[in-house]
Amino acid sequence: MNNRMTALFETKKENILNIYFTAGYPNIDDTVTIIKQLEHSGADLIEVGIPYSDPLADGPTIQESGTAALKNGFTLKLLFEQIREARKTANVPLILMGYVNQLMQFGVEKFVAQCADSGVDGLIIPDLPPNVFEKEYKELFAKHNLSFTFLVTPNTSDERIKMLDSLSTGFLYIVSSAAITGAKSGISEEQIAYFKRISSLISSPKLIGFGISDNETFTTACTYAEGAIIGSAFIKMLSKEGVAGIDGYIQSVRG
């Protein structure tokens, strides 16, 4: 499999910055502008969250942005239209992050076909069990050239980490703590030991997420992985400053 995302990991081995934002937030039509501005400002990878009424892995900041987007009238149909529009000029790798129910309600085959058609490179579906992925989805995703990323937490056993590594076709998402997104600040010695343990077990590229918010936490995370993911902190910035604040924020993280 080779798409924009796998090409990124083949050519760039460090300081990869993945920015997560919720589609349709702050305003329903901001998605295209945010993608374009993030690429212009130097984000390497963009994770687009699909607004959902029951986002299990997300902290309050991301939940609130999703609720606001749904109130704005956001739909999956609109999301695919917006990604098509962004793809007219943007070449940055794009990942969709959502939940199994959203795929089921839309129709899995239809969802995957729309991803491929609109220019999506990969998927993160935190509540899709690995055995179900392997039996029912792996071939379908591969057929449409969609990478798939699994999440690993401090509670994940070595055996399971190796299994998720073997199944992953994108990168491994290293959840920095057992908490929900956005709940931490700084990186502890215990977390560093965990990052080192992961590194000794896997061959996939890895990005560290949850609690990454600024230059200090980004730089530390990049010491133990190919890069890091920022979500809640970026959405908080958008809430305060809007699209106009994107460039300054990305530059501050890069340092």
- Active-site residues, by number, are 47, 58
Question: Per residue, what are the HEC states of the chain?
Answer: CCCHHHHHHHHCCCCEEEEEEECCCCCCCHHHHHHHHHHHHCCCEEEEECCCCCCCCCCHHHHHHHHHHHHCCCCHHHHHHHHHHHCCCCCCCEEEECCHHHHHHHCHHHHHHHHHHHCCCEEECCCCCHHHHHHHHHHHHHHCCCEEEEEECCCCCHHHHHHHHHHCCCCEEEECCCCCCCCCCCCCHHHHHHHHHHHHHCCCCEEEECCCCCHHHHHHHHHHCCEEEECHHHHHHHHHHCHHHHHHHHHHHHC
